[in-house]
Amino acid sequence: MPGSSLWLVPPPSHPLRDILSTLINMTLPARFPELTRVSFSPHVTLTSNVPPSRYGDKPLDWLDAVPWPSADEVRVCFGDVRTEDVFFRRCYVKVGFEGVKKVAGIGRAGDASIDDHTLQEIRDVVREAGVRLDGLGSGDREGFGGWEGGEVWLVPTDRPVEGWKPIAVKTL
Protein backbone atom coordinates (compact mmCIF):
# COMPACT_ATOMS: atom_id res chain seq x y z
CA MET A 1 0.00 0.00 0.00
CA PRO A 2 1.74 3.20 -1.11
CA GLY A 3 2.20 6.18 1.18
CA SER A 4 0.92 6.39 4.72
CA SER A 5 -2.41 5.87 6.41
CA LEU A 6 -4.31 7.68 9.14
CA TRP A 7 -5.64 5.34 11.80
CA LEU A 8 -8.10 6.06 14.59
CA VAL A 9 -6.97 4.07 17.63
CA PRO A 10 -8.86 3.59 20.92
CA PRO A 11 -7.73 5.90 23.73
CA PRO A 12 -4.80 4.39 25.69
CA SER A 13 -6.91 4.11 28.85
CA HIS A 14 -9.96 2.48 27.20
CA PRO A 15 -10.31 -1.25 28.02
CA LEU A 16 -10.92 -2.06 24.34
CA ARG A 17 -7.34 -1.08 23.46
CA ASP A 18 -6.01 -4.05 25.45
CA ILE A 19 -8.93 -6.36 24.63
CA LEU A 20 -8.58 -5.81 20.87
CA SER A 21 -4.77 -5.99 20.96
CA THR A 22 -4.98 -9.33 22.75
CA LEU A 23 -7.55 -10.61 20.24
CA ILE A 24 -5.50 -9.50 17.23
CA ASN A 25 -2.07 -10.53 18.48
CA MET A 26 -2.73 -13.60 20.64
CA THR A 27 -6.25 -15.05 20.90
CA LEU A 28 -7.24 -15.18 17.22
CA PRO A 29 -3.80 -16.33 15.95
CA ALA A 30 -3.79 -19.13 18.56
CA ARG A 31 -7.35 -20.20 17.71
CA PHE A 32 -7.10 -19.74 13.91
CA PRO A 33 -3.39 -20.14 12.99
CA GLU A 34 -4.24 -20.92 9.37
CA LEU A 35 -5.96 -17.55 8.97
CA THR A 36 -3.62 -15.18 10.79
CA ARG A 37 -0.27 -14.21 9.34
CA VAL A 38 0.44 -10.72 10.66
CA SER A 39 -0.59 -8.55 13.57
CA PHE A 40 -0.83 -4.84 14.21
CA SER A 41 -2.55 -2.34 16.48
CA PRO A 42 -6.35 -2.20 16.57
CA HIS A 43 -7.57 0.74 14.52
CA VAL A 44 -10.12 2.22 12.15
CA THR A 45 -8.49 3.29 8.88
CA LEU A 46 -9.54 6.87 8.21
CA THR A 47 -7.66 7.21 4.93
CA SER A 48 -4.70 5.70 3.11
CA ASN A 49 -2.26 6.62 0.35
CA VAL A 50 -1.13 9.83 2.07
CA PRO A 51 2.05 10.78 0.19
CA PRO A 52 5.08 11.51 2.42
CA SER A 53 5.47 14.83 0.58
CA ARG A 54 2.33 16.05 2.43
CA TYR A 55 3.94 15.81 5.87
CA GLY A 56 7.65 15.87 4.96
CA ASP A 57 10.07 15.71 7.86
CA LYS A 58 7.51 17.19 10.31
CA PRO A 59 4.67 14.65 10.47
CA LEU A 60 3.44 15.77 13.90
CA ASP A 61 3.21 19.41 12.77
CA TRP A 62 1.17 18.27 9.77
CA LEU A 63 -1.08 16.11 11.96
CA ASP A 64 -1.56 18.95 14.46
CA ALA A 65 -2.59 21.33 11.64
CA VAL A 66 -5.55 19.15 10.65
CA PRO A 67 -8.84 20.48 12.14
CA TRP A 68 -9.77 17.32 14.04
CA PRO A 69 -13.13 17.04 15.80
CA SER A 70 -13.19 16.94 19.58
CA ALA A 71 -13.12 13.55 21.29
CA ASP A 72 -16.82 13.72 22.19
CA GLU A 73 -17.68 14.11 18.49
CA VAL A 74 -15.97 10.84 17.56
CA ARG A 75 -17.88 7.70 18.46
CA VAL A 76 -16.84 4.32 17.10
CA CYS A 77 -19.59 1.68 17.20
CA PHE A 78 -18.90 -1.93 16.27
CA GLY A 79 -21.13 -3.77 13.86
CA ASP A 80 -20.48 -7.34 12.73
CA VAL A 81 -17.38 -9.36 11.89
CA ARG A 82 -17.03 -9.49 8.09
CA THR A 83 -14.78 -10.93 5.41
CA GLU A 84 -13.86 -9.92 1.85
CA ASP A 85 -11.50 -11.10 -0.87
CA VAL A 86 -9.33 -8.04 -0.33
CA PHE A 87 -5.84 -8.30 1.19
CA PHE A 88 -6.45 -6.18 4.31
CA ARG A 89 -10.14 -6.94 4.71
CA ARG A 90 -9.89 -10.67 5.08
CA CYS A 91 -11.38 -10.44 8.56
CA TYR A 92 -12.50 -7.18 10.15
CA VAL A 93 -15.18 -5.59 12.29
CA LYS A 94 -17.52 -3.27 10.41
CA VAL A 95 -17.69 0.05 12.25
CA GLY A 96 -19.46 3.35 11.81
CA PHE A 97 -19.07 6.76 13.43
CA GLU A 98 -20.39 10.27 12.91
CA GLY A 99 -20.02 11.32 9.31
CA VAL A 100 -17.57 8.57 8.36
CA LYS A 101 -18.23 4.93 7.79
CA LYS A 102 -15.05 3.02 7.21
CA VAL A 103 -14.16 -0.59 7.32
CA ALA A 104 -11.41 -1.50 9.77
CA GLY A 105 -10.74 -2.87 13.27
CA ILE A 106 -9.73 -6.48 13.55
CA GLY A 107 -8.03 -6.79 10.16
CA ARG A 108 -6.04 -9.68 8.94
CA ALA A 109 -3.85 -10.11 5.88
CA GLY A 110 -5.06 -12.56 3.27
CA ASP A 111 -6.26 -12.96 -0.27
CA ALA A 112 -9.45 -14.96 0.13
CA SER A 113 -12.58 -14.57 2.20
CA ILE A 114 -13.27 -16.81 5.18
CA ASP A 115 -16.04 -19.41 5.14
CA ASP A 116 -19.25 -18.67 7.08
CA HIS A 117 -18.67 -21.35 9.73
CA THR A 118 -15.19 -20.03 10.60
CA LEU A 119 -16.45 -16.44 10.54
CA GLN A 120 -19.12 -17.41 13.11
CA GLU A 121 -16.42 -19.00 15.29
CA ILE A 122 -14.42 -15.75 15.11
CA ARG A 123 -17.54 -13.78 16.13
CA ASP A 124 -17.93 -16.09 19.13
CA VAL A 125 -14.29 -15.62 20.19
CA VAL A 126 -14.61 -11.83 19.84
CA ARG A 127 -17.82 -11.80 21.93
CA GLU A 128 -16.23 -14.07 24.57
CA ALA A 129 -13.48 -11.45 24.93
CA GLY A 130 -16.13 -8.88 25.91
CA VAL A 131 -16.64 -7.10 22.60
CA ARG A 132 -20.24 -6.35 21.59
CA LEU A 133 -21.05 -6.48 17.88
CA ASP A 134 -24.49 -4.89 18.00
CA GLY A 135 -23.70 -1.42 16.65
CA LEU A 136 -24.72 0.30 19.89
CA GLY A 137 -21.25 1.44 20.94
CA SER A 138 -19.99 2.37 24.42
CA GLY A 139 -19.56 -0.12 27.20
CA ASP A 140 -21.53 -1.56 30.04
CA ARG A 141 -21.71 -4.75 32.03
CA GLU A 142 -22.43 -6.69 28.84
CA GLY A 143 -19.24 -5.68 27.05
CA PHE A 144 -17.72 -2.93 24.97
CA GLY A 145 -19.20 -2.07 21.60
CA GLY A 146 -16.90 0.79 20.67
CA TRP A 147 -15.20 3.88 22.04
CA GLU A 148 -15.36 7.64 22.12
CA GLY A 149 -12.45 9.87 21.07
CA GLY A 150 -9.07 8.24 20.71
CA GLU A 151 -5.82 8.95 18.96
CA VAL A 152 -5.08 9.53 15.29
CA TRP A 153 -1.90 7.79 14.16
CA LEU A 154 0.04 8.59 11.00
CA VAL A 155 1.45 5.23 9.93
CA PRO A 156 3.74 4.61 6.92
CA THR A 157 1.96 1.64 5.34
CA ASP A 158 4.26 1.48 2.32
CA ARG A 159 6.54 -0.95 4.16
CA PRO A 160 6.04 -4.52 5.40
CA VAL A 161 3.23 -4.88 7.95
CA GLU A 162 5.70 -5.68 10.72
CA GLY A 163 7.02 -2.11 10.33
CA TRP A 164 3.64 -0.40 10.66
CA LYS A 165 4.35 1.91 13.57
CA PRO A 166 3.10 5.48 14.02
CA ILE A 167 5.44 8.34 13.12
CA ALA A 168 3.06 10.91 14.63
CA VAL A 169 0.18 10.68 17.12
CA LYS A 170 -2.60 13.23 17.74
CA THR A 171 -4.87 12.80 20.77
CA LEU A 172 -8.46 13.88 20.15
Q: What is the CATH number of the domain that holds 93?
A: 3.90.1140.10
Predicted pLDDT at 160: 82
Give the confidence band of 143 by pLDDT, cuts at 50, 70, 90.
low
Predicted pLDDT at 170: 86
SS (H, E, C) the chain: CCCEEEEEECCCCCHHHHHHHHHHHHHHHHHCCCCCCCCCCCEEEEEEEECHHHHCCCHHHHHHHCCCCCHHHCEEEEEEEECCCCHHHCCEEEEEECCECCEEECCCCCCCCCCHHHHHHHHHHHHHCCECCCCCCCEECCEECEEECCEEEEEECCCCHHHCCCCEEEEC
Predicted pLDDT at 141: 56
Question: Structural domain of residue 117, as residue ranges?
Answer: 4-171
- How far apart are alpha carbons 73 and 65 in whole angstroms? 18
Q: Domain count of the chain?
A: 1
User: Span 37-64, mean pLDDT?
Assistant: 83
Task: Provide the whole-model pTM.
Answer: 0.74
